[in-house]
Structure formats: structure tokens, C-alpha cells
Amino acid sequence: MSGKLILVAPNGYKECAGPLKAAELISSSLKKHLKEKGILNYQILKRPVSDGGDGFLEVCEYYFGINIFTHEISFPWGNGKFLTKAGYSPENKTVYIESALVLGLKLIPVEKRKPLKLNSAGMGELLNYLNGMKLKDGLEIEKVVIGIGGTGTSDLGIGMCSAFGMELFDASGKKLEPFPENFNDVKLITWKKPELQFEIEVIIDVDNPLLGEKGANRVFAKQKGASENDIEILEKGFQNILQLAGARQYGKLSGAGGGLAAAFQIFFDAKITYARDFIKYELGINKNSLKPSVLITGEGKIDEQTLLDKGAMILINEFSTVDCTKILFAGISKTGLKGVHIIELSKYFPSVQESIEKFEEGINIAVEEIVRKYF
């Protein structure tokens, strides 16, 4: 295999490496092992990807040259503040936000992973801050692009809306705190759409509905710490809020981000962009512009959720009709993919935990294996 294009386009690996670091590790290891095998006439194209989840901001920084800034917001459980990061592109007059850095599961200690007691107020606080920057600092913001994925909250974005003045009341007129544990008691919602100085575009990492068996709560809430009983409470609470908000007039609502994407649809008239379109058109990784002989992608876990068109699967689908060798590095794989060589990194170590701790070593061994087998 000489004179051919190798496209290295991994998603992030939770607890191990973001998309950029993963792409760098794979690329450098490839150069080493290809050189050892005497294969010199090739081009490695490094193109890290994000489906809107973990690593979204670093991918935007890599492609769009954004300036990173910080702002203090509330933790999802309501007590205490922390500094979150976002990025601004002067050229595009656009701010990029990674919801995993605002409401991410990785920000929430295990003992606090109780979705009924968590909300998205921090996202609202950040957006409120951005809305005032034009007046305060003369900063031009025409668009805010938000990557939604990796969130630890399931509150239908009500916490976010509370930062813009939304209030919830029970049957006696008592004001309720904007946490999901109270949603079933809500009888009245007061809300006035805020005047934003920018439009909002939301990049969603999964294509699933808001409610039902394949919805936000039944598919994702358990991994956020919800019990089966919690999930039923969340589902009924969402239904109550949607009815009170008159959301039946809306079309398909997204289940991404524990209902955060749906809130942007309902309350902010945001544009919803699927991650596959963001990767194909904004990042320029598509079969019309690239003709690789080898595609190397990957992410932490390959399972049924991957099939919902998340990061690595987007690349596999995009190049499905391209005659190239398709390789996927997975930390753990629980499903096969037709026509794809899946390399499970955890197989090189006695335990999954050791494979996480020795991620760089695992990548190097995996690259050595694929060079031996497929080059």
C-alpha cells in the first residue's frame, strides 16, 4: 500500500483522550510502524471529529481557530459555581459551546448523579452572559453553536429557561424549583421568550425522539444515575411540562441532551443540525471531497447507542460506498459492524481499567496490529 491516503478521524474516548489527542496518537504510531515496514509513500490526513458530545470544543478550536474564554456558572445540582469554557470566532462572529463542559456527566460526582435533582441552569447563565456581551464589551455575536452530548442532566432544558425568567407553579400557586422531581406537580408555567442578540444552532449527537421507549429518559437516563422509578417520574414530568407549554404544536422533538435540544426547539426556535451534517459539511469530511484508501475512526464504546448515528458510525456510514479498508478502534465493543474491522483496545490488557490507564500503549499495539494485517 503506497501513495495512498490514510484518513485518521477518531471521535473522543471518554476517560482516555479527546478527539485531537486520539488522532495525534494514531497518526504518530502509524508513521512509526509504516516506516518500520518500509512503507514510505503515503499521506496521513488527521481529521478529529465530534458528534456534539465530549471533545466538541477542542474540535471546533482545531478547525475554526476560536479564542477560548471562561465564564462562571452554577453546578447542575444548584449549589456552588465553577468556570466553564467556550470559544469565540471573530471571523465567523460565532460562539461555540460544548454542553459536556457545562452540564456534563463528568462534572457530576457519583453521589450526585440523581437526574431528578439536577438541572441545566448553568447553560442558561452562560447564554445570558453572552447575550449581554455585545452591550458590555462591544463583541459581535451573530450565532451560538452548541454541541449537545455527554450531558448528565435530564430536565427538558427547564433549568436553562429558568435563567431567562421561566417560573413553575403548583395547584396552590406556590412557586416550584426548576428540578425534574417537581415537574409532575406543575400546573402553571409563566414564560416570555427572551430577546437574544444571536441565533442558536444546536448540534445533536443522537437521532432519537424525546419521549417513549427510544426517548431521552428510557434510553439515556439510567447511565446518568436514574433508577427505573426515576425514569417513570421523568417521563411523566416531561409529558406534563410539554402539555402546559403547548408543545403539541411542534413537530418532531429531539431527545438529545436529556431534552435540552427539545427545549432549544420549543423555547428558543433554535436550528437543529444533525452531527452527520456538521461533520460532512462544516468539518468537510465527506466522500465527495476525500477518497481514502484506509479509514481509521473510533470511540470509547461501540454498542447499540453507536447505531443511533453517533461519531464513529457517521464516518462508517459516510464512506460505506467508498472502496476502502475501514478500521475502528474501540475501547470496548459490544456489537459488530458489517464491513468494518473493529479492534477492541481492552483485549490487550487484563482489565478494562488498565486499558483506560494505558490508552496510549493500547493505541500503539492496535496500530502495529493493523499495519501487519491490512497494509
pLDDT in tens, 278-287: 999 999 999 9
pLDDT confidence tier of residue 28, bands split at 50, 70 and 90: very high
| Angle between helix 19-36 and helix 56-64 axes, rounded to 10 deg | 70
Residue 137 has pLDDT above 90, yes or no: no
pLDDT in tens, 46-67: 999 999 988 999 999 999 999 9
User: Smallest Cα–Cα separation from 309: which of 224, 229, 203, 221?
Assistant: 203
- Superfamily, domain 56-276: Glycerate kinase, domain 2 (3.90.1510.10)
Residue 134 has pLDDT above 70, yes or no: no
Residue 158 has pLDDT above 80, yes or no: yes
Per CATH, 4-49+289-374 and 56-276 having the same topology is answered no
Residue 251 has pLDDT above 60, yes or no: no
CB 46 within 8 A of CB 63: no
**Residue 312 DSSP code:** H
pLDDT in tens, 58-109: 999 999 999 999 999 999 998 999 999 999 999 999 999 999 999 999 999 9
Residue 249: what pLDDT? 53
Residue 247: what pLDDT? 77
pLDDT confidence tier of residue 1, bands split at 50, 70 and 90: very low
**Portion of the chain with pLDDT greater than 70, in percent:** 95
Residue 2 has pLDDT above 50, yes or no: no
User: Smallest Cα–Cα separation from 177: which of 356, 185, 332, 294?
Assistant: 185
Compute the Cα dihedral for 89, 104, 281, 208 and give only its sign.
negative
Residue 159 has pLDDT above 70, yes or no: yes
- Contacts by residues 168-174 (CB-CB < 8 Å, ≥ 24 positions apart): none
CB 30 within 8 A of CB 8: yes
Q: Which residue has the cell 474516548?
A: 13
Q: Which CATH class is domain 4-49+289-374?
A: alpha beta
Q: Which residue has the cell 450531558?
A: 151
User: So where are the chain's domains?
Assistant: 4-49+289-374, 56-276
User: Smallest Cα–Cα separation from 178: which of 71, 72, 76, 73?
Assistant: 76
pLDDT confidence tier of residue 309, bands split at 50, 70 and 90: low
